[in-house]
A and B are shown apart, each in its own frame.
Chain A
Amino acid sequence: DAGVTQSPTHLIKTRGQHVTLRCSPISGHKSVSWYQQVLGQGPQFIFQYYEKEERGRGNFPDRFSARQFPNYSSELNVNALLLGDSALYLCASSLLAGNQPQHFGDGTRLSIL
């Protein structure tokens, strides 16, 4: 079975631009979460979606937004990119929300010039 898939794998943008990252969860998983991982740090929670509804938001500015589609795939959007947004963006899926183990994709590496 396919794991969590993310696209694109790498992206280079300039300050002020907008970016959309995509995630397809493991088949049958209904919850998707997004994390940001800066070099040398653990992942930081951005959003969790379950059944197309936002279930949680981390301490990130409103420039960050996300949505989940009827097929449970998800998009993360970041507006007005800053140099500090350079990071690995990880998507994780789980069967349900709640105390379910989360499985991660390999992420999208975003570089801001």
Chain B
Amino acid sequence: QKEVEQDPGPLSVPEGAIVSLNCTYSNSAFQYFMWYRQYSRKGPELLMYTYSSGNKEDGRFTAQVDKSSKYISLFIRDSQPSDSATYLCAMTSGSSGNTPLVFGKGTRLSVIA
């Protein structure tokens, strides 16, 4: 079992739809959870950064963390064609010292105008 599981998609939605992206993980030591957006031929861009369980909202984006279920989600409201990209979940224990990010495979999203 991989440490972080993420459905690679592809996921195709019409413009204006609500998009739900998800990851599950197995390591209970993970405390910090991130969502990155990666456009083709670009590096990952940090979208959301959350600690422990709960919700965080930033504009059209909402990140949810459920540590009891080892499950994280990213919701995109009013999706736009410019949201078409690969979305990567990442997580880390966050302890001092060695804190590598562990990534999912990424979900490829297409928003159709």
Chain A residues contacting B43 (CB-CB under 8 Å) are 4, 90, 104-107
| Interface segment, one of B12-20, B77-85, B93-101 | B93-101
Query: Is B21's CB within 8 Å of the partner chain A?
Result: no
> Which residues of B from 71 to 94 have beta carbons under 8 Å from A?
88, 90, 92, 94
Q: Is B97 a contact of A104 with CB atoms below 8 Å? A: no
Q: Is B32 a contact of A97 with CB atoms below 8 Å? A: no
Q: Is A33 a contact of B95 with CB atoms below 8 Å? A: no
Q: Is B88 a contact of A42 with CB atoms below 8 Å? A: yes
Q: Is B44 a contact of A56 with CB atoms below 8 Å? A: no
Q: Is A40 a contact of B8 with CB atoms below 8 Å? A: yes
Give A96 to B99 CA distance when docked, in angstroms. Answer: 10
Q: Is A101 a contact of B46 with CB atoms below 8 Å? A: yes
Q: Provided the pairs A40-B8, A42-B104, A99-B31 are in contact, do residues A56 and B45 lie with their beta carbons within 8 angstroms? A: no
Give A102 to B47 CA distance when docked, in angstroms. Answer: 11
Chain A residues contacting B103 (CB-CB under 8 Å) are 42-44
Q: Which of B4, B6, B46 contacts A102 (CB 8 A)?
A: B46
Query: Is A55's CB within 8 Å of the partner chain B?
Result: yes
> Which residues of A from 83 to 106 have beta carbons under 8 Å from B?
90, 92, 97-106
Query: Is A48's CB within 8 Å of the partner chain B?
Result: yes
Chain B residues contacting A58 (CB-CB under 8 Å) are 100
Q: Is B99 a contact of A90 with CB atoms below 8 Å? A: no
Q: Is B44 a contact of A33 with CB atoms below 8 Å? A: no
Q: Is A98 a contact of B99 with CB atoms below 8 Å? A: yes
Contact surface of A with B, Cβ cutoff 8 Å: 4, 33, 35, 40-45, 48, 55-56, 58, 90, 92, 97-107, 109
